Amino acid sequence: MNMNRLNLMAMMTAKGMDYEKAGKGAIGGIPTLTAQDVAGALGMADISREAYLYGLLKYTEDKTVIHELDKLTQQAVILFALKQGWKEPFPGDKKRSLFFFLQLGRLVINELVGENLCGTCDGTGVYRHKKLTRKCSCDNGRRPMRKAEQAKFCSVHYNTWNTKWLERYNACVNEFQKWDVEIINALSKKLNDFQIN
Ligand SMILES: [Zn+2]
């Protein structure tokens, strides 16, 4: 079981959930909740599409959702930036600004998932380019980023990133932690229903 799922269960347990009553066996005090359980509960939860996809990525390790999640996160980051009154990084170059927000969104996802998925291989650990397939140079799909790497990933100068966008990026990470809150609340409610029925 992945660490994220264990953490999810620990958080839900802290909210007073009883897994054994919910029909999930507990071994050595650690309740079991399969990826299918989580995916099923997320699918029925009344949460935003991006929270749903994010939940699948984080708690069931379903990496097929990344492309759609990237797009939705890009939109969400742009909306958040507008609300904060942040100017686009490249006024007069819409395409570049859009790419910046796409990349920023991906950094947010990586950080929230807590696995710093490698951008080269999309977290698979295997690099594919045309007919070439080789093990990626990252640590099995994970690659924590330094500030200079973050700046490069978003295609802005290091100084621009360090003095302006790093703080905003952290505000985005904070903002989108609401996905985890949405997910935990929805799953807790779902398990509560199990216990009542
Ligand atoms: Zn990689």
Q: Tell me: the pLDDT tens digits for 124-162?
A: 889 988 888 999 988 788 776 789 999 999 999 999 999
Q: What's the CA-to-centroid distance between 141 and ligand 1, angstroms?
A: 4
Residue 32 falls in which region: left (phi positive, over 0), alpha (psi -120 to 50) or beta: beta
Residue of 124, 125, 166 whose CA lies nearest to 145: 166
Identify the pLDDT of residue 27.
Answer: 45
- Using the mean position of ligand 1's atoms as its centre, give its distance from the Cα of residue 170 in Å: 24
| Ion ligand 1 residue ranges (Cβ < 5 Å) | 118, 120-121, 136, 138
User: Domain boundaries in the chain?
Assistant: 3-196
Higher pLDDT, 62 or 122: 62
| pLDDT at residue number 1 | 58
Mean pLDDT along residues 65-86: 97
Confidence of residue 36 (pLDDT cuts 50, 70, 90): confident
